[in-house]
Amino acid sequence: MAHTPEPDPATVRAVGKVTEALEVVEQARGHLYAFHRLTGTADFTVEEAATLLREAGHADLAARLDRELVGRNVLPGRWTYQVVEDYEDTYYDPFRELAARARALTPGQRHAHEAELKRTRRTPGMPGHEAEPA
């Protein structure tokens, strides 16, 4: 079996930056999903509020909430799921594909930069600084 040479430090640093950026993109995507879920929850909650207002004798305001807010687009022509889908198709999926290509420069090491940091920053022999899990 052929031995794969260790990637050079400059490559490890560069791929580490791509991985760092991908982690931020993953977090942004999570925020988009939170936005999607929160907006959907608000939509159903305002619908409930309209029902309660109607029952309390405030039919005009209830009708406006139903007509103007329930099911309203969050951006022109878009509900939140469409925002999420557009983000994924336009930015997230291509980003992940390119990040995978970059990580291929450090074969077998998804977090090569972090692994190098662990090697250089831990104190060998000190409890809590073990190189690997027991």
Nearest to 100 by CA among 4, 26, 15, 14: 15
User: What number is the average pLDDT over the span 18-26?
Assistant: 96
DSSP 92: I
DSSP 74: S
Which pLDDT score is estimated for 3? 57
Q: What is the pLDDT of residues 76-121, one digit of tens each?
A: 999 999 999 999 999 999 999 999 999 999 986 777 778 788 888 8
Which pLDDT score is estimated for 2? 56
| pLDDT(75) > 80 | yes
User: What number is the average pLDDT over the span 3-26?
Assistant: 89
- CA separation for the pair 54, 69 (Å, rounded): 15
Residue 134's contacts (CB-CB under 8 Å, 6 or more residues apart) are none
Split at pLDDT 50, 70, 90, the class of 1 is: low
- CA separation for the pair 82, 39 (Å, rounded): 13
Which pLDDT score is estimated for 113? 77
134 or 61: whose pLDDT is higher?
61
Domain regions of the chain by residue span? 9-106
| pLDDT(21) > 60 | yes
